[in-house]
Amino acid sequence: MIKILTLLALLLPAPLAAQTIDQMLGRWAGEGIAVSNEEPGVRFSCRVGLSPEGSGTALFAGRCATTQGQQSFAYLVIERGDGSVSAQNRSQPPDSLPQRLSGSASAGLVRLQGGANQMFELSLVEGQLRFRIEGDSAGHPTRGEAFLNRRD
């Protein structure tokens, strides 16, 4: 009997306590700087939410804006026990952002990539959510970083 219980314990997945994405759940808002090409940095404001969809799974949705424009996004993010992360674009209507992202999670950090120059990165830093993005805007490399404060 003990051998059977031991075998079952080894075969069943361990509960995923304190996954990184679960620590980031909530609504966040803040500002930072966005840079496109060789132009000077501009104010970059973001509001994001991570809503639970199950352990290690969250709907990551938000909107970021500069004086030149704005971009909304919605991804279903799944963190696995091995530290891998995947995300599927859930924007309606469909948008120009990557349909699938993949990446990794480690203590306080989730990084998702959709291609050579497309990236979302979330990290917990002293009670704030550091939000970094990289991508292309009208064919020009663009990157931004904002420090977001919890809103709830």
At 26-85, the pLDDT tens digits run 999 999 999 987 788 999 999 999 999 988 899 999 999 988 888 899 999 999 999 999
Closest CA relative to residue 132, chosen from 117, 2, 140: 117
Note the pLDDT of residue 137.
Answer: 65
Quick: pLDDT tens for 99-133.
899 999 999 999 999 877 789 999 999 999 999 99
Note the pLDDT of residue 139.
Answer: 64
Note the pLDDT of residue 1.
Answer: 39
Quick: pLDDT tens for 4-28.
323 223 333 333 345 888 899 999 9
- Position with higher pLDDT, 138 vs 144: 144
Cβ-in-10-Å burial (0-12, 13-18, 19+) of 9 comes to: exposed
pTM of the model: 0.81
Q: What radius of gyration, in Å, describes the C-alpha atoms of the chain?
A: 18
Note the pLDDT of residue 36.
Answer: 83
